[in-house]
Structure 1
Amino acid sequence: MQKRVRNDYMYLKSLSVTELNQYVKKILENDFILRNVLVEGEISNLKLHSSGHAYFSLKDKGGKINCVMFKSDVAFLSFKPEDGMKVNIKGRVSLYDKEGKYQFYVTEMTKKGEGELFVKYLALKKKLEEEGLFDEVYKKEIPKFNRNIGVVTSPTGAAVQDIISVAKRRFEGVNIYISPCLVQGINAPKSIINGIKELEKLKEIDLIIVTRGGGSLEELWAFNDEELARCIFKCKKPIVSAVGHETDYTIVDFVSDVRVPTPSAAAEIAVFDSTKYIALLDEMTIRLQNSMYKHIDAKKYSLNLMKEKLLRNSPEMIVRNKLKDIINTREFLSNKMESTLVVLKEQLAKECALLNSYNPLNVLQKGYSIIQKEDGTTVKGSNMITEDEVYKFTFAEDKVYGRINLLEE
């Protein structure tokens, strides 16, 4: 058999499997419709992975498509998906290029029957978001120490009892103002608006809590009202939203200043825990007392130093010190004088003894005498004697005057 050769092969670019899958994936993701599409069908082969992701198939009589919903989107579900449940899903179509299978990436899911309401919800959410009603810049700060709390809710619901119980446990002095309203039905939005406005008029109100228990999308629909959203946005009081369960999200949640998952959580954020502050106050009191005692001790020590310094420099103390110096000086001089006198007496005694040893009168005690002329000249030899001159003769016991007769040998 003759083999047929196609000439157009030489003009085709050869693609790898990966390149082909990536090309198809790009086509699917760039398609305007497939990027944001709503699909309804029945859940089958549901697997809730430990990671939090949900894997399932969506089917109808004519076919099925593999779907995946990531953990971040599963967290916002208001119900638990189950096999056989008919749902509406929103998301995008793409290709899982590793296996060459296209699948649906789900971002939102509602039970069938809620689809129309959900579409309205998404449309209103988008509208208000584009107008900036959800922007953080407009969010009012929640006061830390609130004494008067306004609550807009059903007076017979469990939500109000939870708020009162938690609030009183945290701070007994808190005042709860209940503004009763409808939380479900066609008249509920207007009733809630009136409740907010009534509380807003009260100057003593620190903040307002808008709350009710959980429920389906239809049951919570009153909190997806546009007029209510604009009322909350314009309210001058901070507003805390606690509508439904943790997985329930309403327009009120987005436009309020703070959204919490439960009424109890709303009470916790609105009312400060007095026990913590009492304990902190006790600790600060002890620290203040210790600091005060330490400061007083330091001042006492400083005062004593200044007192001592003042006493040392007072006129009386100066006089006393000078008098003490005078007394000490006098004692020193007296002692010095006495010691000097003792030394001088000893020296005098020695000089007297020495003088006495050289005293010529002491020689007279041995029988000698001293002959002096009238002018006091001591006669030292006979050649100084004349017979007619009167001489003084000094003996040990007395003195006499007389002439000397010279005799020849």
Structure 2
Amino acid sequence: MYIKTLTVSALNNYIKRIIDSDIILNNVSIKGEISNFKLHSSGHMYFSLKDDLSKINCVMFKDRARSVNFAIEEGMKVEIKGRVGTYTKEGSYQLYCDEIKKEGLGDLYQAFLKLKDELKLKGLMEEEHKKPLPPYPRRIGVITSSTGAAIRDIINVSKRRNNSMSLLIYPSLVQGKDASENIIKGIKALNKIKDIDVIILARGGGSIEELWAFNDEKLAYAIFNSKVPIVTGVGHETDFTIADFVSDRRAPTPSAAAEIVVPSLENLNNEVDSINSILKDRILNILKENKFQLDLLKRNLDYNSPKNYLINEYENLIRLKQSLNTSILRKIDYEKNKINNLNSLLMAHNPLNILNKGYAIIKNEEKVITSKEEFNETMDINIVLKDGEISGTFISK
């Protein structure tokens, strides 16, 4: 049998013609659950419609999207009318939506909300149980896929912020039935390493099915019981999982988780420079204040110096000495004058002066004889004249 060789474009165009000519595919009504919903800035809606076994990508252009009168939410059950078409550039097919009717929340999303409420009632999401993140971690544990974009983003951000930061990667499944158990083993393993300061649990974005491993109850308890603080960076900014609510800090993306955990070396250096500048200013201010106080104390010390006191007292001593000498001289002069006066008075009344007038003094060995009755018949006497004494013996006749 001859087989014609086609180009890729020819094959995709052939498939497109088959699908476009199919009556059923051009007018279908499908029930399913909304997943991975995105509202583009252009007004177009992009999402997936899924059930338990399969999913199909969907697009609803702006002119049709205007007719939707309710907010489309993740996990919502809907009934969609539209047509199946091909996107030949990518070789894919998708559902082009004309109408959307709401049926309710999907089973997975309902299970998510139920588990969230249960764990919240048990206190696993309370702020008081959340462990503080270390401001300057030395070693960071990372649990994620070794081949995904998340690990590359975390490494790039970490190197940019602090090239000396140490990362320990624990490769783990982040999607599928064994992913939750794999992640739990990673948390336990990193908790046994003493120098791990914080753990990043991360994966890239995806639908609710792809992120379902992070909505596991056992994983929630493993995060809650971890002695090492855990930061989650799961999916995109609009994606929330049970792990995010239980973790010590939720980041909108893996890159943001690295931004939160890894301190910026530049910021640290700026902070150190700022603190150093503040410290220098404070030291200078303290030195200035202490110098001022020292100068003040020195002035007080100089003012009250014993040296000045001694100098003043020495001067007082000289004055006292002079005053004393003056007083002594005055006293001596006074006493001399007094003595001279007494001497003059004494000389004036000196009985010896009368001898100059021709008188004499008669004495015996005991006393001056002033009466004749004192003379014995014979006695030794002295006669004091003005120019000397004469000794002799008195004989009575």
Q: Structure 2-normalised TM-score? A: 0.54
1:303 aligns with 2:294: yes
Q: Distance in 1 between matches of 2:142 and 2:164?
A: 16
> What are the superposed Cα offsets for residues 267-299 of structure 1, whole Å, 9 maximum, x if unpaired?
111122232232222122222212212221222
1:84 aligns with 2:94: no
The within-5 A match list for 1:74-113 is: 84=97, 89=102
SS of match in other structure, 2:119: helix
SS of match in other structure, 1:275: helix
Match of 1:187 among 178, 200, 207: 178
Match of 2:126 among 135, 141, 151: 135
Q: Distance in 2 between matches of 1:137 and 1:292?
A: 40
On the 8 A contact 2:199/2:229 being kept in 1, the answer is yes
On the 8 A contact 1:134/1:255 being kept in 2, the answer is yes
Distance 1:90 1:253, change over 3 A: farther
How far apart are residue 194 of structure 1 and its match? 0.7
Q: Distance in 1 between matches of 2:271 and 2:75?
A: 38
SS of match in other structure, 1:223: helix
> What are the superposed Cα offsets for residues 326-370 of structure 1, whole Å, 9 maximum, x if unpaired?
889999xxxxxxxxxxxxxxxxxxxxxxxxxxxxxxxxxxxxxxx
Q: Distance in 1 between matches of 2:139 and 2:157?
A: 14
Name the counterpart of 2:200: 209
On the 8 A contact 1:42/1:84 being kept in 2, the answer is no
Q: Distance in 2 between matches of 1:40 and 1:120?
A: 19
Q: Distance in 2 between matches of 1:315 and 1:86?
A: 106
Match of 2:274 among 279, 283, 290: 283
> What are the superposed Cα offsets for residues 346-403 of structure 1, whole Å, 9 maximum, x if unpaired?
xxxxxxxxxxxxxxxxxxxxxxxxxxxxxxxxxxxxxxxxxxxxxxxxxxxxxxxxxx
> What are the superposed Cα offsets for residues 68-119 of structure 1, whole Å, 9 maximum, x if unpaired?
334xx76999xxx99618978565xxxxxxxxxxxxxxxx6xxxxxx44334
> What are the superposed Cα offsets for residues 132-190 of structure 1, whole Å, 9 maximum, x if unpaired?
33333332232333222111011122211211222232233322111111112222111
On the 8 A contact 2:75/2:109 being kept in 1, the answer is no
SS of match in other structure, 2:69: strand
1:156 aligns with 2:169: no
How far apart are residue 206 of structure 1 and its match? 1.6
1:69 aligns with 2:60: no
Distance 1:137 1:289, change over 3 A: closer
Q: Distance in 2 between matches of 1:188 and 1:42?
A: 23
Q: Distance in 2 between matches of 1:41 and 1:186?
A: 22
Unmatched runs of 5 consecutive residues or more in structure 2: 1-29, 46-66, 81-94, 323-397
Unmatched runs of 5 consecutive residues or more in structure 1: 1-38, 55-65, 92-107, 109-114, 332-409
Name the counterpart of 1:235: 226
Distance 1:123 1:308, change over 3 A: closer
Q: Distance in 1 between matches of 2:208 and 2:74?
A: 16
SS of match in other structure, 1:246: coil
**Runs of 4+ with >6 A deviation:** 85-88, 325-331
On the 8 A contact 1:41/1:86 being kept in 2, the answer is no
Q: Distance in 2 between matches of 1:228 and 1:88?
A: 35
1:265 aligns with 2:266: no
Aligned letter for 1:84? C
CA-based RMSD: 4.0
1:315 aligns with 2:306: yes
Distance 1:41 1:267, change over 3 A: closer
> What are the superposed Cα offsets for residues 3-49 of structure 1, whole Å, 9 maximum, x if unpaired?
xxxxxxxxxxxxxxxxxxxxxxxxxxxxxxxxxxxx94799xxxx79
Distance 1:120 1:171, change over 3 A: same
Q: Size of the alignment, in residue pairs?
A: 252
On the 8 A contact 2:234/2:254 being kept in 1, the answer is yes
Distance 1:298 1:223, change over 3 A: closer
How far apart are residue 252 of structure 1 and its match? 1.6
Aligned letter for 1:273? S
Aligned letter for 1:156? T
SS of match in other structure, 1:173: coil
Q: Distance in 2 between matches of 1:188 and 1:288?
A: 51
Name the counterpart of 2:135: 144
> What are the superposed Cα offsets for residues 195-235 of structure 1, whole Å, 9 maximum, x if unpaired?
11101112221221110111222222222222222221222
Aligned letter for 2:137? N
On the 8 A contact 1:242/1:266 being kept in 2, the answer is yes
Q: Distance in 1 between matches of 2:33 and 2:202?
A: 33
Distance 1:164 1:42, change over 3 A: closer
Distance 1:290 1:139, change over 3 A: closer
How far apart are residue 265 of structure 1 and its match? 0.7
Name the counterpart of 1:198: 189
Q: Distance in 1 between matches of 2:300 and 2:116?
A: 80
Q: Distance in 2 between matches of 1:152 and 1:42?
A: 30
Distance 1:245 1:284, change over 3 A: same
Q: Distance in 1 between matches of 2:115 and 2:227?
A: 23
Deviates more, 1:227-236 or 1:315-324: 315-324
Distance 1:49 1:279, change over 3 A: closer
Distance 1:150 1:118, change over 3 A: same
Aligned letter for 1:272? P
User: What percent identity do the matched residue pairs reach?
Assistant: 46
